[in-house]
């Protein structure tokens, strides 16, 4: 695991966006060789998406040959509901970039057969040769995607009922009315994320501090599903100072000491500022 500790939300976003940009540009995607990117929703990636949009508008990055797979979608919300994850992705990313709509994959929470929808999603990922980089966030309870505490670390894309904490955390997007928040979602499994060739998790804020501690300093545990990534060969975690509040001083010092090496991984090849 590489742990990048930056100053604040803004630098987490910038670092994350630069990393995605570099991975795509180094890959040099083409019509025959598409870059497969997994994407999250929620408040954490908004800053990263904003930065990616800036890169596209400055013509430093193109999504022309990028395929995306989102992590999750609410069950029962129409695609154009303002709080659906389709709407979130449109508003924050897709409407501003040059991605081909045929290359965009988001689970359909209104599909007539939800189980078939999940199986088809897994198949679509396989058909594309797997995911090159899966970007994600974590919940305060340590979940990745909607893999709530107790989810199998080998799980695949499926229907999940949401934990009370998650519903409460989401109420702020539904007029603070807990009754309006969907109770189920379709989500990629922990196993699905683990299959990606690389995983990058963005973590910001003190509310995530305990989850980060359990994710990287405690053992692998299905009560903190993001901890499964300890077993991933290429796991990159970007967090800010506030998110480290529950880590050991030793852990923080160790990873901060490696920042010189880490920074190189987002530098442009021609070392531009």
Partner 1 sequence: MTLLYRFYNCTLVRDHALIQDDLWIRNGKIINPENIFFSEKTRADIEYDCQGALIAPGYIDLQINGAFGHDFSSADEASEEMLIKVAKLLTSHGVTAFVPTIVSSLPETYQEVLPIYKRRAGSAKDGATILGIHIEGPFIAENKRGAHRTDFLRKSECGIEDLKTCYGSFENVSIITLAPELPNMVENVIPELVARHNLVVSLGHSTATLDCGERAILAGARFITHLFNAMLPFHHRDPGLVGLLTTHPLPATTIVYYGLIVDTVHTHSAAVRLAHRVHPHGLVLVTDAVPALGFPDGTYHMGAHEIVVNGKRATIAGTETLCGSIASLAECVQYMRQALLDGETNKEIINEKDSTQFVVESIEAATLHPAQVLHIENQKGTLSFGADADFIFLDKNLNILSTFIAGEQAWTVTNQWSIDNLQTKSSQ
Residues annotated catalytic, as ranges: 72, 141, 143, 148
* 9, 94, 235, 255: which one binds partner 1 (CB under 8 A): 94
- Residues 260 and 132: their CA atoms lie apart, in Å, by 25
Query: Nearest to residue 183, comparing CAs of 85, 50, 76?
Result: 76
For the CB of residue 7, give the shortest distance to partner 1 in the complex, in Å: 28
Site for partner 1 in 206-225 (CB under 8 A): none
Q: Please provide the size of the chain in residues.
A: 273
Cβ proximity to partner 1, 7 vs 95, nearer residue: 95
Query: Nearest to residue 9, comparing CAs of 242, 254, 270, 225?
Result: 242
Query: Rounded to 5 degrees, what are φ and ψ at 18?
Result: -65, -35
For the CB of residue 224, give the shortest distance to partner 1 in the complex, in Å: 33
Among the residue ranges 42-50, 94-102, 114-122, 234-242, the one whose residues contact partner 1 (CB under 8 A): 94-102
* 12, 61, 104, 229: which one binds partner 1 (CB under 8 A): 104
Among the residue ranges 63-71, 90-98, 231-239, 260-268, the one whose residues contact partner 1 (CB under 8 A): 90-98
* 62, 87, 110, 120: which one binds partner 1 (CB under 8 A): 87
Among the residue ranges 68-76, 101-109, 123-131, 153-161, the one whose residues contact partner 1 (CB under 8 A): 101-109
Residue 95 as a binder of partner 1 (CB under 8 A): the answer is yes
For the CB of residue 68, give the shortest distance to partner 1 in the complex, in Å: 12
Q: What is the chain's alpha carbon radius of gyration, rounded to the nearest angstrom? A: 18
Binding interface with partner 1 (CB under 8 A): 79-80, 86-87, 90, 94-95, 100-102, 104, 106
């Amino acid at each position: 695991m590489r742990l990048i500790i930056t100053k604040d939300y803004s630098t987490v976003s910038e670092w994350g966006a630069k990393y995605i940009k570099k991975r795509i540009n180094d890959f040099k995607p083409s019509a025959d060789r598409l870059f497969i990117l997994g994407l999250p929703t929620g408040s954490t990636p908004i800053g990263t998406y904003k930065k990616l949009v800036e890169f596209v508008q400055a013509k430093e990055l193109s999504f022309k040959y990028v395929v995306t797979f989102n992590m999750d979608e609410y069950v029962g919300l129409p695609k154009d509901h303002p709080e659906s994850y389709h709407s979130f992705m449109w508003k924050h990313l897709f409407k501003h970039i040059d991605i081909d709509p045929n290359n965009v994959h988001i689970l359909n929470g209104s599909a007539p057969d939800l189980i078939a929808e999940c199986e088809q999603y897994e198949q679509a990922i396989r058909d594309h040769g797997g995911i090159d980089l899966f970007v994600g966030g974590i919940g305060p309870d340590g979940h990745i995607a909607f893999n709530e505490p107790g989810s199998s670390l080998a799980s695949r894309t499926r229907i999940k009922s949401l934990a009370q904490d998650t519903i409460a955390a989401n109420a702020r997007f539904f007029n603070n009315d807990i009754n309006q928040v969907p109770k189920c979602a379709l989500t990629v499994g922990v196993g699905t994320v683990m299959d990606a060739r690389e995983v990058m998790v963005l973590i910001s804020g003190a509310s995530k501090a305990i989850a980060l501690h359990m994710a990287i300093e405690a053992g692998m545990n299905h009560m903190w599903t993001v901890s499964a990534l300890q077993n991933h060969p290429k796991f990159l975690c970007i967090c800010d100072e506030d998110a480290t509040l529950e880590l050991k001083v030793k852990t923080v010092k160790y990873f901060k000491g490696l920042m010189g090496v880490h920074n190189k991984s987002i530098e442009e090849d021609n070392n531009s500022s």
